[in-house]
Amino acid sequence: MAITLDPQQDSLAKEAAEVAEVLEHAENEKQPAKLVDSHGHEVELPGPLFEVLTSIADQLQRGNGVVVMAAHKLLTSNQAAEIVNVSRPHLIKLLDEKVIPFEYVGTHRRIRLSDVLTYQGRRNAEREAALAEMVELGEHEGLPY
Q: How many domains does the chain have?
A: 2
pLDDT given at position 145: 66
Apex CA 66: angle with CA 124 and CA 35, to 5°? 105
Q: Which residues of 62-82 are buried (b: 16+ CB within 10 A; e: fewer)?
A: eeeebeebeeeebbebebbbe
One domain for residues 111 and 135: yes
Is residue 32 packed enough to be buried (19+ CB in 10 Å), middle (13-18) or exposed (0-12)? exposed
> Lowest-pLDDT range, 51-55, 114-118, 131-135?
51-55
Q: How confident is the model at residue 63 (pLDDT cuts 50, 70, 90)?
A: confident
Q: How confident is the model at residue 16 (pLDDT cuts 50, 70, 90)?
A: confident
One domain for residues 90 and 62: no
Q: What percent of the chain has pLDDT over 70?
A: 87
What's CA 39's distance to the chain center, in Å?
32
One domain for residues 62 and 79: no
Output 18 or 1, whichever has higher pLDDT.
18
d(CA 42, CA 135): 49
One domain for residues 85 and 127: yes
pLDDT given at position 122: 95
Average pLDDT for 112-134: 94
One domain for residues 27 and 43: yes
One domain for residues 12 and 53: yes
pLDDT given at position 66: 83
One domain for residues 133 and 95: yes
pLDDT given at position 24: 74
pLDDT given at position 32: 76
One domain for residues 64 and 81: no
- The phi and psi torsions of 86 (rounded to 5 degrees) equal -130, 165
Average pLDDT over the chain, rounded to an integer: 86
Looking at the predicted structure, is the pLDDT value of residue 10 above 60? no
pLDDT tens per residue across span 70-111: 889 999 999 999 999 999 999 999 999 999 999 999 999 999
Tell me which residue range forms the domain holding 110.
74-141
d(CA 75, CA 84): 12
